[in-house]
Amino acid sequence: MREENANVVVLGGSLGGCMAALSVAKMGFRVILTEETDWLGGQLTSQAVPPDEHKWIEEFGATASYREFRQRVRNYYKENYPLTTEALSDDYLNPGNGWVSRLAHEPKVALSVLSDMLAPYINSGKIRVLYGYKPHDAELHNDIIESVIVQHLHTNEKLKLVGTYILDATECGDVLPLAKVEYVVGAESKQETGEPHAREMKDPLDTQAITYVFAVDYVKGENFTIDKPEQYEFWKNYVPSFSSYSLLDWHAVNAADTTTLKEFTMFPNNEGIPSLFTYRRILDVSKVEEGLYDGDISLINWPQNDYFLGSILNVTDEERKKHLKGAKELSLSLLYWLQTEAPRLDGGRGFPGLRLRKDVLGTEDGFAKYPYIRESRRIKALQTITEMDVSKEERGKKGIRKYKDSVGIGCYHLDLHHTTNSNRAFYIPSYPFEIPLGALLTVRVKNLLPACKNIGTTHITNGCCRLHPVEWNIGEAAGFLAGYAMLHNISTREIRDNPEHLKHYQDILEDNGVALHWPEGMEV
For the chain (length 524 residues), average pLDDT per consecutive 10? 97 98 98 98 98 94 98 98 97 96 98 98 98 98 98 97 98 98 98 97 98 97 98 98 96 86 96 96 96 95 97 98 98 98 97 98 96 98 98 95 98 96 94 98 98 98 97 98 98 98 98 96 76
| The predicted structure's pLDDT at residue 255 | 80
| The predicted structure's pLDDT at residue 256 | 79
Contacts of 119 (CB under 8 A, 6+ apart): none
E strand or H helix that includes residue 297: strand 297-300
CA distances from 361 to 81, 109, 249, 520 (A): 19, 11, 26, 42
| The predicted structure's pLDDT at residue 377 | 98
Measured CA to CA, the distance from residue 498 to residue 479 in angstroms comes to 19
Positive/negative CA dihedral, 369, 374, 376, 381: positive
Q: What phi and psi, each to the nearest 5 degrees, are found at residue 412?
A: -170, 155
| The predicted structure's pLDDT at residue 257 | 84
| The predicted structure's pLDDT at residue 177 | 98
Looking at 413-465, list the stretches that DSSP marks H as alpha helix, in order from N- to C-terminal side. Answer: 462-465
